[in-house]
Amino acid sequence: MQWLILVLYMLLVYSQFYYIIEVMAYMRRWKRALAVLPAMIPACVLLVRLMYFLWNTDKTGNVFFATGFANELPLWSIFLIAALCGGWTIFLAFLEKRCRSSTVTRESIKESADDLPTGLCFSTENGAPLLYNRIMYDLCCELSVGEGHNVLAFWESLPHGAAKDPPDRTADYPEVRTSDGRIWTFARNDITVDHLPVIQLTAVDTTDLNALTEKLKNENRALASLNERLSRHAHSIDELTRREELLAAKMRIHDDMGRALLATRYYLSQETPGDCGEIVSMWKHNIAILRREASASPSAGAFKQLTDAAEAVGVAIVLSGTLPESDQRAMRLVLLSAKECLTNAVRHAGASKLFIDAETRLGRVIVSFSNDGTPPAMEIVEGGGLSSLRRRVEDAGGSMETVSLPQFRLKIDIPTERGDGND
Amino acid sequence: MTNVMIVEDQSMPRQLFELLVKSSGRYELLFSIENAAMAEVYCMKHPVDLILMDVCTALGESGLEAAEKIKKEYPAIKIIIVTSMPECSYINRARAAGVESFWYKEFSEETILEVMDRTMAGESVYPDSAPALSLGEASSRDLTDRELEVLRELTSGDTDEVISQRMHLSVWTVRKYIKSMLDKTGFDSRTKLAVVARETGLVIRDY
């Protein structure tokens, strides 16, 4: 019986102290004291009784109860106190649980931060960490070079750390590939908490986004190539349409020739041929067309078009330098500028010569126009023609300057089609 | 005699026009040139009465733009736009520029001499509409004016963003028009739509 009581005592003492340790770990602040103090009383009583029990065991092995304060209390009262302590603890645990579910505490913030799918940390302005969540802590451990975690040093080391390949990171949002192949995009935000500067660092897993962006880039490249082909196709269609037009004209001539041959054959087959005037007229018409076709010269060329027009209005073109005749886009702008200067020279200056100075260098064509006519009486205000020309020159990536006095001069500076600077 | 200037960049059609004018007995050929931008220069010092003006001329110069300038400077000169391009907007642009007459090289039933005579008699001779062209499962007339404008820009090969900026529309509006055209024509891609539209000559951006 005594041994049974001994074992019971030992179990009670063990359970009370175990309870105290658990309470210390689980409860917080004042609740810890409220929970521990009542538990300490029965624990101490039980401990004292156990000591007495052990010390008063005689050498013969007979067990008896020593006298003293602890032994004065009946055993049932000790059990009662232990039960009350347990009940009190259960009550406090219930309060704690309810409190935890409805109150934001340091621990709950940490727990929540750990559950985030992104990395998060806060630090002082010197980089001393205030809070790390689990993901950011792991990232810091993997990516930091030295010992210890200084958030500021970690942030500054990111653009030079384990870079994504190819490295297209920016200083604002560095992207880093970790050993597991995932790509993390970091961002820093300087905030103020309770009037104190705090650095907030976030890391977002952008692996999927990165793959999608890469896919989108590839698709855009393919689309740009397709659009370029479409643009080229549009230009080749113009040529095709011209050829079709030419073919239609040739077919008309072929039909006219066929009609003339039939009419001639019919005329010759008659026993008493009549008037052949109409047939002769048809042949004259066809022969005239064929002669023109045989002697048809290719396109006059852009500069010839200009000199012909100038000659028609009594102006001679004096060219110095070489015009970019092989570059249709540049030549078109040169010709438009020349035409504008030519009309102004004839209308307002009564000029007989139009001077064109052309120079091609470093992938650009620079052309100046002036005339030998009467200088303008005042500063020329750009009207419809000149302003329209300026717009077209600027749309082509060029620039235009006009000088009114002492002599009107117009200068355009336009890129060549290749613009490779080897001209 | 009526003094005529021909503006046509293709050698054979130009020669045919020249022959027609010379053999007509009532028209005098004053000039025959390739570049529409230069036409205005000739009009400054010569008594041109009538211009036969092609739309697509040398160096990519637009006959419609040249006609508009000439009509502003010399409203007495009569102009006939001659083209083989069935571009749907050319007729309206010619009317807006104040051009007297419009003649399709391939589609018009009247001869050019008849149109010239009627024009010089004070008439304005225009076809009722641009030729209807087949565009996938639809006819070109099934498309609205706005859709045709977007289609014209689509042939540039530019992105929706660039097109929307040029047309002063939102990107979503441009995409809505493109989708509507794809639904009507049955094409499965915008590229096919643009290629066919350009190949048929329904929309041409450059002139």
Residue B139 confidence (pLDDT): 87
- In 3D, which of B170, B4, B28, B198 has the Cα closest to residue A236? B198
Q: % helix / strand / coil in chain B, to the nearest 5?
A: 50, 15, 35
A420 domain residue, yes or no? no
Contact B59, A302 (CB under 8 A): yes
With 0-12 CB in 10 A as exposed, 13-18 as middle and 19+ as buried, what is A18? exposed
CB B93 within 8 A of CB B54: no
Same domain assignment for residues A406 and A346: yes
Tell me whether strands A316-320 and A409-415 are parallel, antiparallel or unpaired. Answer: unpaired
- Stated as kind and residue range, the H or E segment containing A192 is strand A183-193
As a whole number, the mean pLDDT across chain A is 76
DSSP bridge pairs for A364: A361, A415
Residue A60 has pLDDT above 60, yes or no: no
Q: Give the end of a domain, one of A168, A189, A205.
A: A205
Angle between helices A328-344 and A302-312 (to 10 degrees): 10
Mean pLDDT score, A378-395:
83
At residue B98, the pLDDT reads: 93
Average pLDDT rounded to a whole number, residues A235-259: 74
For residue A5, pLDDT over 50 is answered with: yes
Q: Do B19 and A229 touch (CB under 8 A)?
A: no
Q: State whether A407 and A322 are in the same domain.
A: yes
User: Is A176 a member of any domain?
Assistant: yes
Residues A325, A407, single domain; the answer is: yes
Tell me the domains of chain B and their CATH numbers: 2-120 (3.40.50.2300), 134-200 (1.10.10.10)
Q: How far apart are CA A403 and CA A376, in angstroms?
A: 10
Of A267, A294, A321, the domain-final residue: A294
Mean pLDDT check: name the lowest of A24-28, A207-211, B193-197. A24-28
Among B11, B59, B155, the residue with its CB nearest the CB of A302 is: B59
When pLDDT is cut at 50, 70 and 90, the band that residue B80 belongs to is very high
For residues A183 and A221, membership in a common domain is answered with no
Check residues A310 and A300 and name the one with the higher pLDDT: A310
CA distance A132 to A125: 15
Q: Do residues B63 and B105 make contact, with C-beta atoms less than 8 angstroms apart?
A: no
* Under 8 Å between Cβ of A206 and A230: no
For residue A281, what pLDDT is reported? 78
Structure tokens at A35: 């929970």
Instruction: Determine the pLDDT at residue A163.
Output: 43
The pLDDT tens digits for B14-43 are 888 888 888 888 899 999 999 999 999 999
Instruction: Mark residue A164 as left, alpha or beta (left: phi above 0; alpha: psi -120 to 50; beta: remaining).
Output: beta
Q: Which residue of B has its CA nearest to A292?
A: B15
Percent of chain A with pLDDT over 90: 9
Flag whether A197 is in a domain. Answer: yes
Cα distances (Å, whole numbers) of residue B144 to A104, B88, B151, B177, B184: 62, 11, 10, 9, 11
Tell me what percent of the residues of chain B surpass a pLDDT of 90.
Answer: 45
* DSSP three-state, residue A152: helix
Q: What angle, 0 to 180 degrees and rounded to 10, lies between the N-to-C axes of helices B190-200 and A207-269? A: 20
User: Three-state SS for B146?
Assistant: helix
Domain boundary among the residues A277, A294, A311 is at: A294
Side chain identity, residue A396: A
The single-letter DSSP state of residue A175 is E
The first and second tokens of residue A23, run together, are 């309470």
Higher pLDDT, A307 or A423: A307
- Strands of chain B (E only): list them: 2-7, 27-33, 50-54, 78-83, 101-104, 134-135, 138-139
The H helix count followed by the E strand count for chain B is 9, 7
Mutate to test the interface with A, among B48, B59, B154, B195 (most CBs of A within 10 A): B59
Closest-CA distance of chain A to residue B199, Å: 6
pLDDT beyond 90 at B77: yes
Q: In angstroms, rounded to a whole number, what is the distance separating the alpha carbons of residues A50 and A65?
A: 10
| Phi then psi dihedrals of residue B89, to 5 deg | -90, -10
Substitution target in B11, B87, B163 with the highest count of A β-carbons within 10 Å is B11
Q: Which amino acid is at A111?
A: E
Does A32 lie in the same domain as A131?
A: no
Q: Please check whether residue A371 lies inside any domain of the structure.
A: yes
Q: B199–A293: do the CB atoms touch at under 8 Å?
A: no
pLDDT at A159 over 80: no
Residue A324 preceded by cis peptide, ω within 30:
no
- Is residue A423 domain-resident? no
What integer pLDDT is reported at residue A148 of this predicted model? Answer: 59
- State the smallest CA–CA distance between residue B41 and chain A in angstroms: 6
Quote the domain boundaries for residue A400: 302-415
Nearest to B81 by CA among B3, B140, B6: B6
Q: What is the mean pLDDT of residues A114-130?
A: 89
Which of A137-141, A244-248, A317-321, B154-158 has the weakest average pLDDT? A244-248
Across the interface, which of B19, B33, B157 has its CB nearest the CB of A305?
A: B33
DSSP category for residue A270: S
CA angle centred on B32, ends B30 and B35, rounded to 5°:
130
Contact check, Cβ <8 Å, A335/B59? yes
C-alpha span between A265 and A263 (Å, rounded): 6
CA distance B118 to B124: 8
Q: Classify residue A345 by its DSSP letter.
A: I
Asked if A313 lies within 8 A of B157 by C-beta distance, the reply is no
CB-based contact A92:A31 (threshold 8 Å): yes
The residue ranking higher by pLDDT, A241 or B164, is B164
> Does residue A160 sit in helix, strand or coil?
helix
pLDDT, tens digit, for every residue of A335-357? 999 998 999 888 888 888 999 99
Do B21 and B39 touch, CB atoms closer than 8 A? no
Task: Supply the CATH number for residue A169's domain.
Answer: 3.30.450
Residue A407 sits in the same domain as residue A309: yes
Q: Who among A231, A308, A335 is closest to B37 (CB)?
A: A335
Residue-level length of chain B: 207
CA-nearest residue of chain B to A339?
Answer: B38
- pLDDT score at A415: 87
Residue A166: asked if its preceding bond is cis (omega within 30°), the reply is yes
- The CATH number linked to A368 is 3.30.565.10
Residues A330, A312 share a domain: yes
Angle, vertex CA A259, rays to CA A257 and CA A264, nearest 5: 95
The two beta strands, B101-104 and B78-83, are parallel
| pLDDT tops 60 at residue A58 | no
Rounded to two decimals, the ipTM of the complex is 0.80
* Distance in angstroms (rounded) separating the CA atoms of residues B206 and B90: 12
Q: What stretch of H or E contains A409? A: strand A409-415
Mean pLDDT is lowest, of A188-202, A296-310, B33-47, B118-132, for: A296-310
- For the residues A321-327, what does the mean pLDDT come to? 82
Q: Do residue A60 and residue A127 come from a single domain?
A: no
Residue A407 shares a structural domain with residue A336 = yes
Amino acid at A46: L
Claim to verify: residue A379 and residue A362 sit in the same structural domain:
yes
Give the mean model confidence (pLDDT) for residues A384-391: 85
Query: Is A82 in the same domain as A6?
Result: yes
Lowest-pLDDT range, A64-73, A341-350, B104-113?
A64-73
Residues of chain A with Cβ-Cβ distance to B194 below 8 Å are 230
Give per-residue pLDDT as tens, B130-172: 888 888 888 888 889 899 999 989 888 788 888 999 889 899 9
3-state secondary structure of A367: strand
Res. A422 pLDDT band, cuts 50 70 90: very low
Task: Write the CB contacts of A313 (distance below 8 Å, at least 6 apart in sequence).
Answer: A342, A346, B41, B42, B44, B45
Provide the pLDDT for residue B88: 79
Number of domains in chain A: 4
Instruction: Calculate how close chain A gets to B15, using CA atoms only, in Å.
Output: 7
DSSP β-bridge partners for residue A360: A365
Mean pLDDT of A212-241: 80
**Which positions in chain A touch B11 (Cβ < 8 Å)?**
296-299
Q: Give the Cα separation of A109 and A106 in Å (integer).
A: 5
* pLDDT average, residue stretch A278-289: 77
Residue A348 and residue A367 in one domain: yes
Facing residues of A119 across strands?
A: A203
In a domain, A422, yes or no: no
Decide if B44 and A310 are in contact by the 8 Å CB cutoff.
no
Cβ-contact A253, A286 below 8 angstroms? yes
